[in-house]
Amino acid sequence: MDESFGKEEKLKSKKLIDILFQEGKSVKKYPLKLIYLPITNPEITHCKTGVSVPKKLVKTAVGRNRIKRLMREAFRKNKYLVINNLPQSYALMFIYISRDKISFQEMNKTMVKLIERLIEQEKKAR
């Protein structure tokens, strides 16, 4: 299984991000929140993923960057769950919603549970 997190998998499109925040659904598992939206464009085959840490919650850039690195790594290791269990591609935005520091092990567990909730919610919707 390919565990890379390349350029084509990153959420960069301003239009797609705006639509995601306007029309997307959300799932929470403290300290993460996931906003997601199915991508209807047939040209996009990969899930587009972004991470965010609010400046209001984590004051230093060093702290925000560390948490974003942990989030990207946890998603990279567990993205096979999304690819194998969801039939189409999605735009995903992971948002950190805590003021506390977190270890990679905690982040990884939370990421897996959040992805499982996403899969569960999407299977109910069908």
> For the chain, what are the domain ranges?
7-125
What's the rounded Cα separation, in Å, for the pair 106 and 126?
A: 31
| Residue 47 DSSP code | P
What confidence category does residue 100 fall into, taking pLDDT thresholds of 50, 70 and 90?
very high
93 touches 20 (CB < 8 A): yes
Beta-carbon contacts of residue 118 (< 8 Å; ≥ 6 apart): 27, 34, 36, 82, 86, 92
At 1 the pLDDT is 62
At 126 the pLDDT is 73
At 20 the pLDDT is 95
Q: Which CATH class is domain 7-125?
A: alpha beta
Beta-carbon contacts of residue 27 (< 8 Å; ≥ 6 apart): 33, 34, 36, 114, 117, 118, 121
Q: 76: how many CB neighbours lie within 10 A of its CB? A: 16
What confidence category does residue 82 fall into, taking pLDDT thresholds of 50, 70 and 90?
very high
Provide the whole-model pTM.
0.94
Once rounded to an integer, what is the mean pLDDT over residues 54-66?
A: 96
Confidence check: pLDDT of 48 > 70: yes
96 touches 74 (CB < 8 A): no
Does residue 108 sit in helix, strand or coil?
A: helix
At 57 the pLDDT is 96
What's the rounded Cα separation, in Å, for the pair 38 and 59?
A: 32
